[in-house]
Amino acid sequence: MSRSDELQEFLQETRNYLSLCKEMKWAEYVMVPKTIPVSVNQQTLERLREEVNNCNKCILSETRTNVVFGEGNNSPDVVFIGEAPGRDEDSQGKPFVGRAGQLLTKIIQAMGFNREDVYIANILKCRPPDNRNPLPNEIKLCEPYLIHQLEILRPRVIIALGTFAAQTLLKTEEPIGKLRGKMHFYHQIPLMPTYHPAFLLRSPGKKRDVWQDIKQVMVLLSSSETSD
């Protein structure tokens, strides 16, 4: 099946799922209103970026090449949150630019967006050495920056990519396999946990599970558009 055929099948499944959800009166979520001008978001984000660029709160500041603050639309419908920068991200100062990032871009495009339409960030702003897992103290010190980002961006939906992103935002120790598949909330913002693209590269059989999660996000966005 070609990529075009896969996309058409995905979109048709989404339409069918949306129709079913409307019949069941599902997706009664509170969507965060967009009331802050984009220009204000940009200025506030730039001030936060400058603060993060000068951060030396943890040992990662000593080994990083670049801070990976995040990038994308300053007033997005969707924010993707990953775990931490990898080698390519650390080198370029941009999130998700390696192989996992290429797969994430395909997921974003299948949703009908470009990368410029969404916002992409990580729990940690600096790369852990050798891509090791984030340490609890590193998450504790870095998470306030992400919280501030999300307060500025005010997305309609958050997609948490992988274990660390989902567990950090939801304050839980539940594994990603149990968290994914259903909508949660982060400060009244709907949050969908799903597998990290890097995991999908190792376990391509899980891609269908991610599509199921993404379809729920698209249903939610479609429902909010028709109710606006």
Predicted pLDDT of residue 27: 37
The CA distance from 114 to 25, in Å, is: 30
**C-alpha to C-alpha distance for 5 and 160, rounded to whole angstroms:** 27
Determine, yes or no, domain membership for 32. Answer: no
- CA–CA distance, 84 with 151 (Å, rounded to integer): 20
**Separation in Å, CA 93 to CA 59, 129, 133, 188, 190:** 18, 15, 19, 30, 28
The count of domains in the chain is 1
Q: Is 179 part of a structural domain of the chain? A: yes
Beta bridge partners of 111: none
What local confidence, expressed as pLDDT, does residue 23 receive? 40
- 162: in domain: yes
In the structure encoding, which two tokens stand for residue 210, read together? 């991610």
Q: Give pLDDT, residue 42.
A: 80
Residues 6+ apart with CB under 8 A from 55: 61, 67, 125, 142, 145
State the pLDDT at residue 213: 97
pLDDT at residue number 178: 97
Six token digits for residue 202:
């190792």
Q: Give 149-207 as a DSSP string.
A: HHHHH--SEEEEESHHHHHHHHT----HHHHTTS-EEETTEEEEEE--HHHHHH-GGGH
- The Cα–Cα gap between 104 and 201 comes to 11
Q: Which tokens hold the place of 113?
A: 């967006």
- Whether residue 29 lies inside any domain: the answer is no
Token pair for residue 127?
A: 């790369």
Residue 147 lies in a domain: yes
pLDDT score at 43: 86
What are the CA-CA distances from residue 122 to residues 114, 161, 163 (Å)? 19, 9, 12
Any idea what the CATH number is for the domain that residue 81 is in?
3.40.470.10
What pLDDT, on a 0 to 100 scale, did the predictor assign at position 35? 44
Can you spell out the DSSP letters for 94-141? -SS-SHHHHHHHHHHHHTT--GGGSEEEES-SSPPGGGPPPPHHHHHH
Residue 31 covered by a domain: no
Question: What is the C-alpha to C-alpha distance for residues 70 and 155, in angstroms, rounded to an integer?
Answer: 14
- The β-bridge partners of 64 are none
- pLDDT confidence of residue 32: 43
CB-side exposure of 107: number of CA atoms within 13 Å?
31
Q: Is 98 helix (H, G, I), strand (E, B) or coil?
A: coil
Convert the pLDDT of each residue in 41-84 to its tens digit: 788 999 999 999 999 999 999 999 999 999 999 999 999 999 99
For the stretch 172-184, pLDDT in tens is: 999 999 999 999 9
Q: Answer whether residue 20 is part of any domain.
A: no
- pLDDT of amino acid 16: 53
- Report if residue 60 sits inside a domain: yes
Low-confidence ranges of the chain (pLDDT < 70): 1-40, 224-228
* Residues of the domain holding 76: 37-227
